[in-house]
A and B are shown apart, each in its own frame.
Chain A
Amino acid sequence: MRFLFKTHYNQDIDHLKHGGDRFWYGLLLVLVAAAPAALGTFYLGELNLVMIYAIAGVGLMLLVGYTGQVSLGHAAFLAIGAYTHSLLLGAGLPFLLSIVAAVLVSALVGAGVGWIALRMTGIYLAIATLAFAMLTEQTISRAEWLTGGFRGLAVPQASLLGMPLTQVWQHYYVTLTLLVVTLLAALNILRSSTGRAMVAIRDSEISAESVGINLAVYKTLAFALSAGITGLAGALFAHRLGYLSPDAFTFLISLQLLLMVVVGGVGSMRGVIYGALFIGFLPQLLAIARDTLPPQIAQAPGLEPGIFGLILVLVILFEPQGIFGRWLKIKSYFQTFPLYRRATHRRQKTYLRTERLR
């Protein structure tokens, strides 16, 4: 077990708390930066996808894990980001500008949705965001003059600083850079008063109000931030798909994004990465499972959403803290060995809360 001797408040503010952090995160960065040299095109592409998921996951985590607002409609923001980016790129805007525009447009739409949904919480909010996602999907398929409808929209070739982005490794580095930037931005928000206001809203709206937090402003802000970041992932996702059509952004994608946040561990940014790895490689596992299962089951329609849903339910029931929570438990088992007690991490119920004020 590591005991830190703290001599300055800065040590509590810094992202990397001690030498161990600096070493391991540094090593991780070196490894992912060196990955294109070691991995083939297929696995590099998959890793690229995982990182795109991770960016979207950071966005959703800010909303679900830190502000406590559940969204079942984040595929819509992914779609808005992807379409905005592709259309603007097609109109001749440079790659980076068009990405920034995609982020801003998604954030604006997100702010609108958040503002409309202000009075809704829990399951009602989830249904409202689901409805919004369906609305977006329908709008995209009907607005043929803009999006090409179901005929689809080819994503134009991007070029960065005069260099055309044709190779997988080029996209990989763009995604990696943006993932690191997104993670740092999200962690910065979380260590400042904005992030604390979000956490306050998650844990108790009534006392958040009483310490002067404007619920409407911060909920809308959280939605905007979350949508903007998911829109960024959407813009990168467009290049991965190459060809956009409304059925690439279905409910299944929203569910997958939520699954990532929950399986990874609600309320931790590391959980996002674990969750992204999980849902990035889950389809591969399912494909392998299909080969071994009897055809009646393997060919059944709706197998994937069914399995996603099942995993979501099981995780919420048995490990609400997700992979990250499980990791913390394993770590504390070894740190306190042989004194670990199961009760250390037992979930506690709170009986005394002012429910009637909600």
Chain B
Amino acid sequence: MSYLRVEDLSISFGGIRAVDDVSFDVEEGEVFAIIGPNGAGKTTLFNLVSGIYSADGGSVRFAGRDITSLPAHRIAPLGLARTFQNIELFEHATVLQNLLIGRHVHRRSTALSHLLFLPAVRREELEHRRRVEDVIDLLELAHYREQRIANLPYGVRKVVEVGRALCLEPKLLLLDEPTSGLNPEESEDMGFWIEDINRDLGVTVVMVAHDMGLVSRVAGRVLALNEGRTIAEGSPAEVQKNPAVVDAYLGAD
């Protein structure tokens, strides 16, 4: 049984089948990339897997559990974290607060004890902070710790979002275009971090990407989508040579 198994997943918006009978398997510990031209349904697929949309048909199984009909807030505690293509951070909070919010699924105390801020709550807060500092060290965010997101450059926000996802201590990380809008140097760093997250933290990564350089470097297997359907699957080199993929990107002659 594979770690993440997506079977015949479909969703339509009006008359458009945005995701049409897509199936794929992700094994534990691998880096899996999803590519495809604009409008291929990559982000929609992510929204289906992470529970933001509910599927019209098909199923998603994660770590042996059927999560197809679970709402997003019940999926996150199972160990599935994600980032967004257009960055959905908590704009008016600091980097530190954003990362601490990422620790939400690990809270143990109740709202009533928060009202009184009992000693146990303080101990828990200190523990959260230590875990958050580990992520800050990993992603080299120490310099921005106290800054509000609204004041940060785009590239840093992208990293903070990955950091917030890591604070959930996920087993599976969904990265929606981790390098879009980044300059070559920042993209390079992001590539290294994805490798670190995968190798050192043992997190399985599924990412949507346009940057074939990044895909070839970090991904083991690639799934190519076009107009909601799977058109190719295999190693990066295979997929890049696949005539259907070339057609989808450049147009058939």
Residues of B within 8 A of A350 (CB): 91, 150
* Pair A193/B89 contact, Cβ less than 8 Å: no
Q: Are A354 and B150 in contact, with the CB atoms below 8 A?
A: no
- Using a CB–CB cutoff of 8 Å, the interface residues on chain B facing chain A are 47, 50-52, 71-74, 76-77, 81-82, 84-93, 96-97, 100-105, 107, 109, 111, 114-117, 121-122, 125-126, 128-130, 150, 164, 168
Whether, in the assembled complex, A58 has its beta carbon less than 8 Å from a beta carbon of chain B, the answer is no
Partner of A348, one of B47, B109, B150: B150
Known interface pairs A196-B97, A203-B91, A210-B72; A185-B86 also in contact (CB < 8 Å): no
Q: Is the CB of B102 within 8 A of A211?
A: yes
Docked complex Cα distance between A193 and B52 (Å): 22
A192 and B126 contact, CB distance less than 8 A: no
Contact of A9 among B73, B103, B126 (CB under 8 A): B126
Are the C-beta atoms of B72 and A204 separated by less than 8 Å?
no
Nearest chain A CB to B196's CB is how many angstroms away? Answer: 21
Contact B104 A195 (CB under 8 A): no
Interface SS of chain A: helix
CA gap between A195 and B144 in the complex, in Å? 22
Known: A13-B125, A191-B117, A209-B52. 4 other contacts (CB 8 A): A188-B115, A193-B100, A193-B128, A210-B72
Residues of A within 8 A of B (CB-CB), count: 37
| Beta-carbon contact of A192 and B121 below 8 Å | yes
Q: In the complex, what's the smallest C-beta–C-beta distance from B158 to chain A, in angstroms?
A: 11
A188-B117, A193-B114 as given contacts; A213 in contact with B73, CB under 8 Å: yes
In the complex, the chain B residue whose C-beta lies closest to that of A192 is B114
Tell me the bound Cα distance from A214 to B89 in angstroms. 17
Q: How far in angstroms is the closest Cβ of chain B from A63?
A: 15
B89, A204: Cβ atoms closer than 8 Å: yes
Residues A185 and B97 in contact, CB atoms below 8 Å apart: no
Determine if B104 and A357 form an interchain contact, defined as CB atoms under 8 angstroms apart: no
Residues in B with CB closer than 8 Å to A200 are 90, 93, 101, 104
Taking CB atoms, residues of chain A closer than 8 Å to B82 are: 210
Q: Are A199 and B97 in contact (CB under 8 A)?
A: yes
**Complex interface bits, A61-72 against B, C-beta within 8 A gives 1, otherwise 0:** 000000000000
Q: B16: shortest Cβ distance to chain A, in Å?
A: 13
Tell me if A12 and B129 are in contact (CB < 8 A): yes
Given contacts A207-B84, A207-B89, A213-B104, contact A9 B129 (CB under 8 A): yes
CB-based contact A204/B126 at 8 Å: no
Sample of 30 A–B contacts (CB below 8 Å): A9-B125, A9-B130, A188-B117, A192-B109, A193-B107, A196-B100, A197-B104, A199-B90, A203-B91, A204-B89, A204-B90, A206-B52, A207-B88, A207-B89, A208-B101, A209-B52, A209-B73, A210-B82, A211-B102, A211-B104, A211-B168, A212-B73, A212-B74, A212-B77, A212-B105, A212-B168, A267-B92, A353-B87, A354-B85, A354-B88
